[in-house]
Structure 1
Amino acid sequence: MNKNLRKLPLAIAISLALPAIAAENETTLGTVVVTAPATEAPLTVTTDPKAPRQPLPAHDGADLLKSIPGFSVIRKGGTDGDPVFRGMSGSRLGILLDGQEIHGGCGGRMDPPTAYIYPESYDRVTVLKGPQTVLYVPGSSAGVVLFERDFKRMTEPGWSADGSLTFGSWGRNDQYLEARGGNPDFYARINATRSDSDNYEDGDGEEVHSFYTRWSTSAALGWTPDDNTLLELSLGRSDGEAAYADRAMDGTKFERENAALKFEKRNISPLVAKVEALAYYSYVDHVMDNYSLRKPPKDPTKYALNNPDRETKGARVAVTLTPNDPLQLVLGADMKTDEHTLRNGTDYRNQPREADLSFDRYGVFGEATYALDDVRRVIGGLRVDDYEVTNDKMGGITEGETLPSGFLRFENDYGSGAGTWYAGLGHVERFPDYWEYMRTGNMIKVQDARSFATLDPEKTTQLDIGANWTQGPWSASVSGFYSKVDDYILLRWVSDKAANVRNIDATVYGLEGDLSWRFAPNWQAYGTVAWVRGTNDTGDKALAQQPPLEGKLGVEYDNRVFSYGALLRMVAKQDRYDIGSGSIVANGQDLGPTGGFATLALNAGWRPNKATLLTVGVDNVFDRTYSEHLGKGGWDFAGAAVTDERINEPGRTFWVKAQLALD
């Protein structure tokens, strides 16, 4: 793909986004602006990715997640940031796309899993906090994020569609289209998305190397012979390009292809409530270079290009049993194979691919919910996973582990159902991921560095406690955690390309809270807070890459025709850091302390009818120049080196979004 992709005529985008076709059910657009999704169930946050939100509506998965308390993003410029939850990133945070576990190809994390997600093409995003489930991605000590699509069996033949257009400062323009149709026995769905932006400017008017273009398409065909049966085949393809302010290369190709086959059968018998099965395939072909999207080196011998790829195959089967009224039991098994290869050079198409690391995992799990009475219940689960990694660069050396995980949680409703309090203890053992293993055995050694064969799995034991409450116009929740991590895997960066990896012991604790008050008809005020503190117990110092205290205050008016809102985001200074240590993101290290800042955002919306919603907004109203603590150091193009000055965030940003949902 090249820059011509970024010149798709606007007329084509509009014609794609606004079709009108008939369907069976009435569609009404929901809440105008979602700024801080609230916790409504223990350790669970669910949000509608189709709803417009502030700051500027999300164009990738990380952009959406940062609106949820507890999430931060390791920023690299305009796109493809790495999500961080409770100070934990990488494979500590499981990401599933319609049940599929995918990984990017870039060894420097140009393309984390969320880079391949256009949130509006999904119906629901669910965050499951902490090691408090064993049903999904193993090793997810921070939590699991589910991007999901829904489908309800049609009662009669029909079609429907919805689409949106977004325009903003610095050439930002997004297009989204979804069309659905079928009859009670069969259905089809198509999705198409495109997002594009030029370089943005910070509050001082300085341009940041950050332009991008991303597009995706997907289709699904389903068979629903009755209300309890679903068989669906889905296919997807996406690509893009992105300029990065934090590194020596840009991404010129992010091609992804995927296919999945899903089966569900419900209400089989009084014992068997549901059987579900999923098989999927994903292939990522990624190209990065230092000359296509930036001023090339004067010396042609300095041209550089890498072409990694990754092939992932996975499957999952589970059965939900209800042996008696108070007990529900989910039993299942899953597996995933993952192979990464690489080739280099400007003539890479003529070069053979060289395998470097491949992973195999097979797991079994069980999770039970037992109701002690009408207001009390116990939830618990166990899983065991067998892992094997092969280092093809070192002659096929293999390393394997069998790792257990589990949790037990007590929940108690109170106030005649007004709220729930809970306490849970979880333990998860995480096998080192690709980015951690690739740093072993071939970099500059430091004290306590680990080799390929001696890097130990990470073991997290965590206590989660909290409560939710809703009464009249008030709604609130608080969730706290305390975690001890044995053999925490920490990177120590020795240059912008090289890092060592080692095991340490760590302690991490913190909380998230939200409060909402509907103080008058159509009016709501809300606030959120997120705080985390991490300590490197081995080194008796701060744990690297921990976000500062953050709070949000907002007010909204919405009478279902007009809406208005304001959001104040406040971030405290961060004086706990470990210079040089950090995450698996290329050169993702602490750079020193950061000062606090605050930004104001305003929005307004108009719903002229049930199917149309127009929203406008301005972010960073006062054009503040600021950078995030987890922001990366910028690339000094003149000096051809990474600096210790963080990349500044966008200055004042105007945007407008139009949504149409037609039946």
Structure 2
Amino acid sequence: MTALSLPARALGCAPLSSHLTPGALACALLLTGPALAAGDAPTAPTAPVPTLRDVVVTAVHDHSPVQVVANPKQPRQPVPASDAADYLKTIPGFSAIRSGGSNSDPVFRGQFGSRLPLLTNGTQLLGACPGRMDAPSSYISPETFDALTVVKGPQTVIWGPGASAGVVRFDRERPDFTEPGVRFSASLQGGSADRNDQNVDLQAGNAQMYVRVTANQSHGQDYQDGNGRRVPSAWDKWNADVALGFTPDADTLLELSAGAGDGEARYGGRGMDGTQFQRDSWGLRFEKTHLTPWLTKLEAQLYRNRADHVMDNFSLRTFAPGGSMAMPMASNVRRDTSGARLAATLQWQPDWQLVTGLDAMHSPHEKRAGSPSQHYSAKPWQRDAKFEGLGAFAELSWQAQADTRWVGGLRLDRAKAWRYTTASTTTGMGAMPAMPTMPTTTGTDQRSRTALPSGFVRWEHTLAPQSALVYVGLGHVQRFPDYWELISPGNSAANAGNAFATLRPEKTTQLDLGAQWKGADWQLWTSAYVGVVRDYILFDYAAMKSAVRNVDARTAGFELGASQRLSTAWTAQGTLAYSWGRNSSDDRPLPQMPPLEARLGLDYAQGPWSAGGLWRLVAAQHRHANGQGNVVGRDLGASAGFGVLSLHAGYRINNHLKLAAGVDNLLDKNYAEHLNLAGNAGFGYPGGVRINEPGRTLWLRADMQF
């Protein structure tokens, strides 16, 4: 990726280099100078004065039954995230499989991949790499969105199929312009390992229309672990999105959106690096509310997201023969995901509400390969897979009494998959021999499942005097195997063919329960789950290959959180999360389960000043299943526990500008997460060795709103 990013071009500023240059700072000052000169002068009556939040987030608490809601624009510790997985780690129950400095893959309650769909503005963008080097989370820049919503467990049916672990939604809210106006917000961030990020959000409109532009760039060099050892982890990425909305009245919205992005990343735990993460997206959505007394909302949406990903073993590293790659090679993979959604909200009296509709998805996958002497761009695309889905859903809410609410839903999905076999095949993880001049299709296999039912029912009860809430929900999900499970295991034609023919849909039945208590100065919440999974999809690793099969499994776990206001300035908070799983078929632990984790925080906020600390404590993990895992990671044995201390402080200069600084891993602890990729000898890491996390990290951030 070139040093000049699209956001910098769009702003008309000097090019942004690989570190925070004087030109970049001058660009920031140019943007903020007029507003800073104005100080706290009253703004025009056409727009409210924005107020920056004072607190740097160290823990995210449950918002409502089975749901977490957060503001991804708000500063957080550890150092504000460069991808979706990095941000989600703030939420109890989430962890991540680290690939490098960026582009990790999120894990919730030990569940991963299509069990946990990630949606942006209600759409899906699926990565193309057979090993999920470009996981969907790698294309999401959290700070360019307004709201993050997590639904825990199989407790909704309206956001697509297969969501047995939960649903994650990143959304941009509709700008509200009752009078003509312009709004602008931005953030600048710098830190250790040459970390520098820039984010901008520009909105302009009136009562009839609006335009919104969001853009960001994020960069980091290789970091050093707690022992001072360099870890290959550099990245550079950018994203830019524009939305044009028409609002002829308060009840109508028609929005057209488009976006693009690109980047590159080094991976210490893989045999290849990502040299292109090209994304282009477009969408059209329509919303109409208050159509009739009983039809309160109608939604329609069309979208197309494309991921065009390139990986090679020579551009970002010195090539070294090893494993299945005896020569320099490159692989270009592409996946188009297009879809549609239609939903209606019906209301009967104030007590009954029904959301019902249809959604559909179409997603072909293509590939081509090359080498330094034979560039992949000169080769034709070769289709290897295609997936389609169609679903119908209905979710009903009933306020049975003033203190009791029932929620239930049913969903029925039809899924189809095609596998295209060709004259050229791959023979190992990452092995990509040269392709023929023209692709030669030798056969096409198809499998489908016409009826994949899912559903749930949940009881919610408010305890007097309206300060406590309890809930119990029972859900069932049948999930069709995804691309990574059906097509890509081991990149072996024999393994993939066997999986395609024999792998059964995964069937999860789970009981979710929890409670919330709130007082004037305190909050306590807990959520727990117990699940049974028939035909759980499990990966077995041997040498450089993997195979996939169905087993039966059991899962359980909990999340717990509390906060207490100690005085007008001080607040203490903490969270605790634990996940447990067992492979009933093999009578051994389920792999890739994160260990017990606690977060303890102490925050101070008084006037323009704020400060705080975060102590993250992770227990040793002795429950493991060596050689088993998922398409990205496998268990490498027991892992040691660790504790990491981080501090931050901030100062709000005025209603428009706030500065924050922090130090993560203050004591320079050398540690590694339990969920991890195996090391790669091409970067000096022997196989089976966990990659260490960053050592002491300093960061400085400025947030602006006008």
Q: TM-score, normalised on structure 1? A: 0.96
DSSP 3-state at the match of 2:499:
coil
1:330 maps to which of 355, 359, 368: 355
Is contact 2:268–2:683 with CA below 8 Å preserved after alignment?
no
User: How do 1:95-494 residues align onto structure 2 when only pairs under 5 Å count?
Assistant: 95-297=118-320, 302-346=327-371, 347-393=375-421, 395-401=443-449, 402-439=451-488, 443=492, 450-494=498-542
| AA matched with 2:378 | N
1:349 is paired with a residue whose SS is helix
Distance 1:565 1:338 in 2: 45
Give, in angstroms, the shift of residue 522 of structure 1: 1.9
CA distance in structure 2 between the partners assigned to 1:277 and 1:11 by the alignment:
46
* Deviates further, 628-637 or 68-77: 628-637
What CA distance in whole angstroms lies between the structure 1 residues aligned with 2:493 and 2:175? Answer: 55
Deviation track 1:183-218 (CA, whole Å, cap 9, x = no partner) reads 110100001100001100000000000000000111
In the TM superposition, residue 560 of structure 1 has moved relative to its aligned partner by 4.1
Q: Do 1:2 and 1:241's aligned partners in 2 also have CA atoms closer than 8 Å?
A: no
* Residue of structure 2 equivalent to 1:506: 553
- CA separation of 1:187 and 1:252: change in aligned 2, threshold 3 A: same
**Are the aligned partners of 1:153 and 1:227 in contact in 2 as well (CA < 8 Å)?**
no
Alpha-carbon distance between aligned partners in 1 of 2:108 and 2:90, rounded to the nearest angstrom: 12
Secondary structure of 2:333 counterpart: strand
User: Following TM superposition, by how much is the alpha carbon of 1:31 offset from its aligned partner in structure 2, in angstroms?
Assistant: 3.7
CA contact (8 A) 1:450 1:502 kept: no
**1:642 to partner: Cα distance:** 5.1
Per the alignment, residue 434 of structure 2 pairs with none
Q: Is the 8 A contact 1:2 1:252 kept in 2?
A: no
Deviation per CA, 1:397-425: give whole Å up to 9, x if none. 11001201000000001132112100000
Say whether the 8 Å CA contact 1:439–1:500 is kept in structure 2: no
Name the residue aligned to 1:10: 21
Measured in 2, the distance between the counterparts of 1:590 and 1:144 equals 25
1:557 maps to which of 600, 604, 620: 604
The 3-state SS of whatever aligns with 2:128 is coil
Give the superposition deviation at 1:636. 2.0
Deviation at 1:137, TM superposition (A): 2.4
Distance (Å, rounded) in 1 between the aligned partners of 2:618 and 2:242: 41
Secondary structure class of the residue paired with 1:310: strand
Report the alpha carbon displacement of residue 268 of structure 1 after superposing the two structures with TM: 1.3
Letter of the 1:304 counterpart: M
Shift of 1:493: 1.6
Tell me the CA shift for residue 11 of structure 1: 4.7
* 1:60 lines up with 2:60 in the alignment: no
> Cα distance 1:355–1:560, how it changes in 2: closer, same or farther (>3 A)?
farther
Instruction: Report the CA distance between 1:152 and its aligned residue.
Output: 3.7
Give the partner amino acid of 2:209.
Answer: F
What amino acid maps onto 2:21 in structure 1? L
- Name the SS for the 1:325 alignment partner: coil
- Residues 272-306 of structure 1, C-alpha deviations (whole Å, 9 max, x = no match): 11111110011111111011001134899711100
Calculate the TM-score normalised by the size of structure 2: 0.90
Q: Select 2:650's aligned residue among 602, 605, 608.
A: 605
Per-residue deviation, 1:25 = 2.0
**Secondary structure in 2 aligned to 1:452?**
helix
Which SS does the other structure have where 1:435 is aligned? helix
SS of 1:246's equivalent in the other structure is coil
Q: Deviations over 1:354-394 (max 9, x none)?
A: 11110000000000000111110100000001000000127
Three-state SS of the structure 1 residue aligned to 2:123 is coil
Report how far residue 438 of structure 1 moved.
1.3
Task: Return closer, same or farther for 1:638/1:319 CA change in 2, 3 Å cut-off.
Answer: closer
2:694 aligned partner, one-letter code: P
Amino acid at match of 2:641: G
For the Cα contact (< 8 Å) 1:133–1:367, is it kept in 2? yes
Query: Per-residue deviation at 1:230?
Result: 0.7
**Could you tell me how far 1:440 is from its partner in structure 2?**
5.9
CA distance, structure 2, for counterparts of residue 160 and residue 440 of structure 1: 48
- Cα distance in structure 2, aligned partners of 1:99 and 1:413: 30
Per-residue CA deviation, residues 139-161 of structure 1 (Å, 9 max, x unaligned), is 01000001011124311111010
What is the correspondence of 1:72-111 to structure 2 with a 5 Å cutoff? 72-111=95-134
Report if the CA contact (8 A) 1:445-1:500 is conserved: no
Give the Cα separation in 2 of the matches to 1:503 and 1:580: 16
Contact 2:232 / 2:683 at 8 angstroms: preserved in 1?
no
Range 562-571 or range 412-421, more displaced:
412-421
User: Alignment length, in residue pairs?
Assistant: 657
CA separation in 1, counterparts of 2:418 and 2:689? 38
What's the offset of the Cα at 1:32? 2.1
Query: Take 1:345 and 1:577, find their aligned partners in 2: how far apart are those partners?
Result: 38
Q: Is the contact made by 1:449 and 1:500 (CA closer than 8 Å) also made in structure 2? A: no
What is the alpha-carbon distance in structure 1 between the residues aligned to residue 385 and residue 679 of structure 2?
A: 30
Work out whether residues 441 and 450 of structure 1, in 8 Å CA contact, stay in contact via their aligned partners in 2: no
Conserved in 1, the CA contact under 8 Å of 2:570 and 2:604?
Answer: yes
1:559 CA displacement? 1.7
Listed one character per residue, the Cα deviations across residues 300-346 of structure 1 (whole Å, up to 9, x for unaligned) are: 97111000000111110100000222100001100000010000012
State whether structure 2 residue 585 is matched by structure 1 residue 538: yes
Q: Is the 8 A contact 1:486 1:506 kept in 2?
A: yes
Determine whether 1:659 maps to 2:703: yes
**Which of 663, 688, 693 is the matching residue for 1:618?**
663
Q: Aligned with 1:366: secondary structure?
A: strand
- Secondary structure of the residue aligned to 2:670 is coil
Q: 2:664 corresponds to which letter in structure 1?
A: D
Conservation of the 8 A alpha-carbon contact between 1:33 and 1:53: yes
| Contact 1:440/1:452 (<8 A) preserved | no
Give 1:7 deviation, angstroms. Answer: 2.2
Q: Give SS of 1:395's match.
A: strand
Deviations 1:75-107 (A, max 9, x none): 112011100000000000011001111111111
- Of stretches 31-40 and 164-173 in structure 1, the one that deviates more from structure 2 is 31-40
Helix, strand or coil at the partner of 2:392: strand
Tell me if the contact between 1:626 and 1:648 (Cα under 8 Å) persists in the aligned partners.
yes
The answer to whether the Cα contact below 8 Å between 2:130 and 2:488 also exists between their aligned partners in 1 is no
Describe the SS at the equivalent of 1:63. helix
CA distance in 2, matches of 1:12, 1:233: 34
| Distance in structure 1 (CA, Å) of the matches to 2:329 and 2:389 | 34
- Counterpart-to-counterpart distance in 1, 2:406 and 2:23: 54
Amino acid at match of 2:624: Y
Kindly state the Cα deviation for residue 444 of structure 1 after the two structures are TM-superposed.
9.1
- Say whether 1:573 aligns with 2:620: yes
- After TM superposition, give the deviation of residue 439 of structure 1 in Å: 3.9
CA distance in 2, matches of 1:81, 1:88: 14
Alpha-carbon displacement from aligned partner over 1:36-89 (angstroms, at most 9, x marks no partner): 110020011111111110001111100100000000000112011100000000
- Residues 489-518 of structure 1 deviation map (CA, whole Å, 9 limit, x = unaligned): 00112234x210000000000000100000
- Unaligned 5+ segments in structure 2 are 6-15, 36-43, 422-441
Q: CA deviation at 1:15?
A: 5.6
